[in-house]
Chain A
């Protein structure tokens, strides 16, 4: 059931009810979402809730429309993106995702802390080698030297990482199916298992993303 955003009799905006994004669109908390359907609903709701439609309305309705349409836009933006959608659902499920964003890294750097980054086990060896190369290239650049072989190797690593990064989305989609099945019929234990798998995948994903960014920074510097 979709929340009652507007009056079904007169079509006017109603005061917003605090609901999560899935409920806002009348969707179950499942991860496979029909994007075409979502877009259609987004357009349909925009035509009912957007502030342009309430330019001549009283202040109260204008405020409701502003709040409702910002909620609509926030919800649509989150749900249409596969990663944002997964992260959002995990947060709803009480998971505190490890922040491995650039912001967090910068924050840690600025405050002098050593940021705790769990290296995904399957990447350990590769990351070790990559970091050595990065440092070498960095040192080379400082001395004004140019080592084309090293650059080539790094670029190869980068391509490898990007391939891995892309493959993660496919893997994630497999977990979505698992998750959606537990919503229909599944115990607490099943849910916890697939939830942990997704958290692990998202951490690996942001780890790889940061690595690629670091490589780019060195290559472009």
Chain B
């Protein structure tokens, strides 16, 4: 069972989380720093070591050219469609980037593709989970914005593979959130999920029916989120600084990073305060200060949050629903903390939205629920089944550069369509097919997914071959294509040229580079962590021996503790982490009563009028003690 453990991962624009199902409810697994959120920030330090999360954040300010954030915005995209992004974000592209090549980002001396950078974040989450379970984790459910296209989904799946994770399912973020909400509600009706995160916006409408979560319509904008608000505030600050102080700091990466940090703090503060102050120290002992009221802030962001209205209306229209037919509205994503966003949602759906679950965590919790369903389910998830849809229509280019839609948006997935092709000239052996995704009529206005070349068609007169091509969108929202020439019964060979993305071979190479030593790395990390834990418990025991409680133990108990202490001291220098953990557990068991006695004496001391600190109970005999820890905190 342990090797089959599947975790749920929310790979976010700003923050990422890993969660799993503990008994009846999903819980987030904290990192070593005790925090649930791992900032999606990756840096390369001066020793060319990859740093992820909170530890990487200081690089954003100190050495911005060695760090990257919001990489999710670049997943599955080509250089030509990130020009807007490049103006607003400090992405450093590799200088030797060729046209048509997958984007590479420079971090110090090295360059990485977006899936590789995401893989570093995933690997950190994987490690956090492995540390938590004390066992390797190889399987995961990863969430993606519902409105992600095929290339963006494929890039996310690639990131998982590079990180050494088998991605059992990509789940749409709003749908995942509905699972987390539906877990304890178990009711029927129509639910709208409004998900405004750091970089993406999704709206999904679901029909809940006896445990079936059927998405009826989804819409969104994969480039709309809190980042846009930050960028707007940064632009205003830069303009002010130029106007008032006469300096242009827009090219100074460090200063811009400082401003970014400051505006995010102001944005966050304005969700609970009527006003907040920007106070930024600039080079040359200048200082930029400005107070922003909530009213001003709300006016500024109105055009940004108004962009969520169109997708909501479209989704309602696609579902043939009116706002008053929706039974519940759920808010997801950090940006829904902004009161003005809540007001907008309330106005649009004419009801008070739900915010019972932490909007930062609910997607990861839902991913854990889905992971549990995939691993065979439990009492809590019994009868739960997710039926999701494809967010965008799938089409093929036909004569005249027109898109012929073959699978319409909001079709339940898996979904398939079959098309027939023939040849135009005698003896033609190849047929080219251009696959597109999007709603527009002209192929050039849609997203190019891939060009397929049907090869090896048996030589026949023009128009004679009958090639059946099957397009299938799987439960992850990813396209598969197969083809057969029906007269000869021959499977036609398909050569895929993904328009944006890594080839299988490239992904393989990336896995090998970073994961040659995965097992060894894991073992070594476990040994170090087990040793640290052993030191903690031994130190706590030393403290315990000096406490009055020690005298209350029987000599048998003391003897037993001494024996196990010696055993732990012996194994802790060896390389067998399992043996160390065993010895820790044994010693832990034997000191259980000592811990209780110390607790009691601490409590009675406290009752005598002393504070807990004065009672000098330290961290207790064994920090990881389940009973003791809960009491001491």
Binding site for B on A (CB under 8 A): 43, 46-47, 50-53, 55-56, 66-67, 69-71, 73-74, 76-77, 102-103, 106-107, 109-111
Q: How far is the CB of B484 from chain A (nearest CB, A)?
A: 13
User: Do the beta carbons of A110 and B401 come within 8 Å of each other?
Assistant: yes
Contacts between chains A and B (CB distance < 8 A), count: 79
When the two chains form the complex, which single residue of A55, A66, A110 contacts B414, counting CB atoms closer than 8 Å?
A: A66
Across the interface, B412 reaches (CB within 8 A) one of A67, A76, A103, A109, namely: A76
Contact for B399 among A56, A66, A102, A110, CB less than 8 A = A110
CA distance A102 to B412 in the complex (A): 24
The secondary structure that dominates the A interface is helix
Stretch among B23-31, B57-65, B155-163, B372-380 lining the A interface: B372-380
Q: Is B375 a contact of A52 with CB atoms below 8 Å?
A: no
**Cβ contact within 8 Å between A103 and B212:** no
State which of A53, A66, A111 has its C-beta within 8 Å of the C-beta of B472: A66
Distance between A130 CB and nearest chain B CB, rounded to angstroms: 23
Q: Which of B169, B403, B442 sits near A55, CB closer than 8 Å?
A: B169
Q: Is the beta-carbon distance between A70 and B414 smaller than 8 angstroms? A: yes
A55 touches B398 (CB 8 A): no
| Interface pair B212/A106, CB less than 8 Å apart | no
User: B460-477 vs A: 1/0 string, CB under 8 Å?
Assistant: 000000000000111100
Q: A66-B414, A103-B405, A106-B441 are in contact. Are A55 and B374 (CB under 8 A)?
A: yes
Please give, as numbers and ranges, the residues of chain A lying within 8 Å of B441 by CB-CB distance: 102-103, 106
Known contacts A106-B400, A107-B398, A111-B399: does B385 contact A66 (CB below 8 Å)?
no
- Taking CB atoms, residues of chain B closer than 8 Å to A110 are 399-402
B597 contacts across to A, CB distance below 8 A: none
**Identity of the chain A residue whose Cβ is nearest the Cβ of B214 in the assembled complex:** A43
CA A73 to CA B415, docked complex, whole Å: 6
Which of A51, A52, A74, A77: most chain B Cβ within 10 A?
A52
**A71 to B, closest residue via Cβ:** B416
Q: Determine how close the nearest CB of chain A comes to the CB of B45; give it in whole angstroms.
A: 38
Question: Please, could you name 5 A-B residue pairs with CB atoms under 8 Å apart, sorted by A?
Answer: A46-B385, A47-B383, A66-B414, A73-B414, A109-B400
Report how far A13 CA is from B403 CA in the complex, Å. Answer: 35
Residue of A nearest to B383 (CB): A47
B405→A52 contact, CB < 8 A? no
B387 CB-CB contact with A under 8 Å: yes
B475, A51: Cβ atoms closer than 8 Å: yes
B370, B402, B415: the one contacting A106 at CB < 8 Å is B402
Contact of B386 among A52, A71, A73, A103 (CB under 8 A): A52
Minimal beta-carbon separation of B367 from chain A (angstroms): 13
Distance in angstroms between the alpha carbons of A93 and B398 in the assembled complex: 27
Known interface pairs A55-B374, A56-B4; A73-B411 also in contact (CB < 8 Å): yes
Q: Please give, as numbers and ranges, the residues of chain A lying within 8 Å of B417 by CB-CB distance.
A: 74
The answer, among B4, B402, B474, for a CB contact under 8 Å with A51, is: B474
A110 to B401, CA, bound (A): 8
A43 CA to B210 CA, complexed, in Å: 10
Is B592 interfacial (CB 8 A cutoff)? no
- Taking CB atoms, residues of chain B closer than 8 Å to A55 are 168-169, 374-375
> Which one of A53, A66, A74, A106 lies within 8 Å of B474 (CB-CB)?
A66
Q: Is B524 an interface residue (CB 8 A)?
A: no
Contacts of B375 in A (CB 8 A): 55-56
For the complex with contacts A47-B383, A73-B411, A103-B398, 16 further pairs of A-B residues with Cβ separation under 8 Å are: A50-B385, A52-B169, A52-B385, A55-B168, A56-B374, A56-B375, A70-B414, A71-B416, A73-B412, A73-B415, A103-B403, A106-B400, A106-B441, A107-B398, A107-B399, A110-B401
A128 to chain B, nearest CB (A): 27
**Contact present for A77 and B411 (CB under 8 Å):** yes
CB distance from B388 to the nearest CB of A (A): 10
CB distance from A67 to the nearest CB of B (A): 8
Give CA–CA (A26, B42) in the complex, Å: 55
In the assembled complex, the CB of B85 is this many whole angstroms from the nearest CB of chain A, namely 31
Bound: A74/B387 CA distance, A: 13
- In whole angstroms, how far apart are the Cα atoms of A1 and B386 in the complex? 27
Closest to B395 in A: A103
What is the bound-complex CA distance between A109 and B401, given in angstroms? 11
Nearest Cβ distance between residue A159 and chain B, in whole angstroms? 19
